[in-house]
């Protein structure tokens, strides 16, 4: 019986060692798998960080370029606004000047008198007056001066109106 008890003890010891070996192998596999998962996670986080770092650099470049473009457009708008203000002031000045001129009624039309300033229009008016004083008709004057018959008639009507006003 002692032999049987020894055999049972040896069998139990072998079974215990086998269980220990199996548990040890399982533990080592778990440790190896955990290490592999940790390495995979570290690589994923590193790739994500580099990807995000690249995106951040790209966004910074876009912000710099967008800011430069916006500043260029702002400068262009400021120049345009300055030009518009200058033109508005000039138009207001001209409107004030025009409002100060007398109004002449020619038929159903009211016209502001624009005194001759010695320019091409004044020369045309003088030529129209000269030809009319020679007895030429409006159509002939228009052809010779290079303006429409209506303009000739208007120039002559304004002259008559000025004479009548005094």
Q: pLDDT for 121-164, tens place per residue?
A: 788 888 999 999 999 999 999 999 899 999 999 999 988 888 88
Q: Convert the pLDDT of each residue in 105-120 to its tens digit.
A: 555 655 555 555 556 6
CA distance 150 to 109: 13
User: CA angle, 97 as apex, 121 and 105 as ends, to 5°?
Assistant: 65
Tokens 């020894």 sit on residue: 6
CATH of domain 102-165: 1.10.10
Structural domain boundaries in the chain:
1-100, 102-165
H-type helices in 100-148, by residue range?
120-133, 138-145
């Amino acid at each position: 019986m002692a032999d049987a008890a020894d055999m049972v003890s040896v069998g139990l010891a072998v079974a215990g060692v086998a269980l220990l070996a199996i548990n040890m192998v399982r533990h080592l596999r778990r440790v190896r798998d955990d290490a592999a998962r940790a390495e995979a996670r570290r690589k994923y986080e590193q790739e994500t960080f580099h990807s995000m770092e690249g995106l951040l650099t790209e966004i910074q470049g876009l912000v710099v370029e967008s800011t430069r473009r916006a500043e260029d457009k702002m400068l262009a708008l400021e120049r345009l606004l300055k030009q518009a203000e200058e033109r508005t002031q000039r138009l207001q000045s001209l409107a004030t000047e025009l409002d100060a001129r007398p109004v002449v009624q020619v038929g159903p039309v009211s016209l502001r008198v624009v005194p001759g300033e010695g320019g091409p229009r004044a020369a045309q008016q003088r030529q129209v007056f000269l030809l009319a004083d020679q007895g030429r008709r409006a159509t002939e004057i228009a052809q010779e001066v290079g303006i429409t018959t209506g303009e000739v008639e208007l120039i002559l009507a304004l002259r008559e109106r000025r004479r009548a006003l005094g």
